[in-house]
Amino acid sequence: MAKRYWYVVITYIIMQFSGFVFAPLLYLLTPLGQMQASIYWSIFSFIAALAIVLLLLRPDMKTTPHRNAASAGEIVLWSIAGLFMAYFANYIATMIETYVLGITPGSENTQMIMDITRTVPFFVIVTAIVAPILEEIVFRKIIFGELYKRMGFFLAAAISAFVFGIIHGEPEHILIYASIGFVFAFLYVKTKRIIVPIIAHMVMNSISVIIQLLLDPERIEQMMKQLEQMQMILIGG
């Protein structure tokens, strides 16, 4: 693996754990509350990490695209198709987790992000733009891309998706993260353009944030219960 890719992964890891050290310092040195200090440090660290990663990947940006890489029009089409594919994969994985594995639906990670966004609305920039770019570069371009050179698609996608799920702190929902990871990996391989899974990921996150910000928690819970009832009818429960 190229040295700059190692630096990208190290930058991402440092960003993930930097809050343990610098958020408390920010809290001590500023009038911010403890939670606000943690949120503002997360915003800063994500944006700083993205800037560093893009600087490290300048050589990649200057290289000639693969001869079979998707055109501008194909990028748009595959991004739209990929969004629907990701939602479908997410739905199937959720059904398996709920009715086969007995895992309670719902993501604590998503709920935490929404709580943070309601506290500091600017955090939506991280959720909708910065995080998807970083995650697709790290998990699809680098981890999956390097593994794919050495093994088949399925195993490379599975390993990268597993790491993707672990980083999000929800191993119980590894199947959901894996299903989405498989779709994004497929988009990357199919189009030879990392921008395609980035766009699909950004739009997916943005839709999730917008829906949850527009609806109050009670309404979301009611809709989830209605959806579960419909699912039980469809599967004959």
- Would you please indicate which residues are annotated as catalytic (active-site) residues? 135, 168
What is the residue type of 113? I
Report how far residue 138's alpha carbon sits from residue 7's, in angstroms, rounded to the nearest whole number: 11
Q: What SS3 class is residue 47?
A: helix
Q: In one letter, which amino acid is 66?
A: H
Q: In angstroms, rounded to a whole number, what is the distance separating the alpha carbons of residues 97 and 103?
A: 5
Closest CA to 196 of 11, 66, 59, 13: 66
CB-based contacts of 2: which residues, under 8 Å, 6+ apart?
Answer: none
Neighbours of 149 (CB within 10 A): 9
* Cα distance between the two ends of the chain: 49
Distance, in Å, from the CA atom of 181 to the CA atom of 62, rounded to the nearest integer, reads 27
The candidate with the shortest Cα–Cα distance to 45, out of 125, 109, 108, is 125
